[in-house]
A and B are shown apart, each in its own frame.
Chain A
Amino acid sequence: MKQMVHYALVLLILGGTAGVGLYGVNNLTSERIAEAMKRNLTEGQKQLFPAAASFDGPLSFPLSSDSGTYYKVLGADNTVIGYELDGAVQGYQSKVRVLTGVTTNGVITGIKVLEQAETPGLGAEVQAVPSTRTLWSALAGLFSEAEKESAAALLPPFQTQFAGKDLGGLAVVKQKDPAKIEAISGATITSEAVTRAVREPLEAFLAWNGK
């Protein structure tokens, strides 16, 4: 009995110390974590509507018996110039979260994949920017800043396909078709997932907003 109390005491002290320690670490890091997540979102918001003056949100709309999240995009004179929808679906091996910009007429201005942890080289290519730079040129010109900047300014071609389309164009095909979304070869499931993360909230939102 005495031994049991001893054991329990040791475990309790150890667990308590660990808990308090983690509380401290959590307090130190939580602000930065929230900040990093917010920065990712605000960068995306600006990218989809460069002309926007401010964003109103997060607001919610009904989405398949639950609710989805959207933002109102406000122009310089505080008129609504569009909306941004925040949608997530299950991809090949991770949650795929996409921000979709849409004008008041229902035309997509662009999308940005906010979160994904798909297979590098396949699914993760939805976020890849084409680069002619090889390992060798990178090793040779490691410090060429201008080149680095030009690469950073490019948008992932898979995501730029969405710009200018409306609900009807959101279907994944395997051949080149400018009216539809061309899948990344070898990563059909991720391509489908991104498209669904755009289409499903958009469909529900337009039906709800049209009323």
Chain B
Amino acid sequence: MTITTLLLVLLSAVFVNNFVFAKFLGTCPYLGCSKDTSSATGMGLAVIFVMTMTSAVCWAVYHFFLYPSTANVLYLVFGSAQAAAADSAYIKTHFDLTFLSTLSFILVIAALVQFVEMVIQKVSPALYSALGIYLPLITTNCAVLAVAILNIDGMMLHGTQLGYGHSGSLLFALMNGFGGGVGFTVALLLMSGIRERLDLGDVPRPLRGMPIAFITAGLLAISFMGFLGLVK
């Protein structure tokens, strides 16, 4: 996988397929945490971190435990190579656990968030006091679960299908997760800057708060449509 391909994946995750503006993912924390720039920065950094980690761990869980292939750990432990050689559908019929993906991904995310919280608390109390209150919220940020699910679909299309094999699809997943997090942060920071100014403006009473935030997001989304076609 060349550097250019990876950069394109990153660029498209940040701008073209921005999680908030193009895919409507993570809208709740996006509107909830964009009231001022400092909380937006904290939330953004926490999301970048968790999304990248989630992409890597969920990729491993999917590839080594859920997806029926010769790399599946359950197949290596319990399966028989003779049966697999005799019947090409053997692995697929006996070791396909992909129906458990949603359940296992959300558990991975919940555990990961808890783990990250504990580690940060031990290692850097300063960082913890900055990010601490945002971390538990990330479990229910749908952008995080979505990136894990989208990575699976994407892998079939970008990673393995293009012939990059396993390491390629892992790199793709990492780039997508990191880029998605950065895109979310960009959206959050833009929005918080605008909302800080909106507080000073004379907004019609019924539109104050949430409604005007939505309309602002709509206008931002229009400007983000300008990135369409930037990356094929």
A–B in direct contact per CB < 8 Å: yes
Report which A residues bind B (CB closer than 8 A): 15, 18-19, 22-23, 25-26, 30, 64-66, 88-90, 93, 95, 188-189
Asked if B220 is an interface residue, CB under 8 A from chain A, the answer is: no
Given known A95-B153, A189-B228, A189-B229, contact A64–B162 (CB-CB < 8 A): yes
In chain B, positions 158-211 with a C-beta closer than 8 Å to chain A are: 158, 160-163
In chain B, positions 106-161 with a C-beta closer than 8 Å to chain A are: 107, 153, 156-158, 160-161
Question: How many chain B residues touch the partner (CB < 8 A)?
Answer: 17
Interface contact A19-B100, CB-CB below 8 Å: yes
CB nearest to B228 among chain A residues: A189
Cβ 8 A contact of A65, one of B22, B99, B153, B162 = B162
Cβ 8 A contact of B161, one of A30, A66, A93, A189 = A66
Nearest Cβ distance between residue B5 and chain A, in whole angstroms?
13
Report which B residues bind A (CB closer than 8 A): 17, 22-23, 99-100, 103, 107, 153, 156-158, 160-163, 228-229
Nearest Cβ distance between residue A99 and chain B, in whole angstroms?
17
CB-CB < 8 A to A25: which residues of B? 99
Nearest Cβ distance between residue B74 and chain A, in whole angstroms?
13
In the complex, 19 of the A-B residue pairs with CB atoms within 8 angstroms, ordered by the A residue number, are A15-B103, A19-B103, A22-B99, A22-B100, A22-B103, A23-B99, A25-B99, A26-B99, A30-B99, A64-B162, A65-B163, A66-B160, A66-B161, A66-B162, A88-B161, A89-B157, A93-B23, A188-B229, A189-B228
For the complex of A and B, list the 6 residue pairs with the smallest distance between their C-beta atoms, beginning with the closest.
A65-B163, A66-B163, A26-B99, A66-B161, A90-B157, A22-B99
CB-CB < 8 A to B163: which residues of A? 64-66
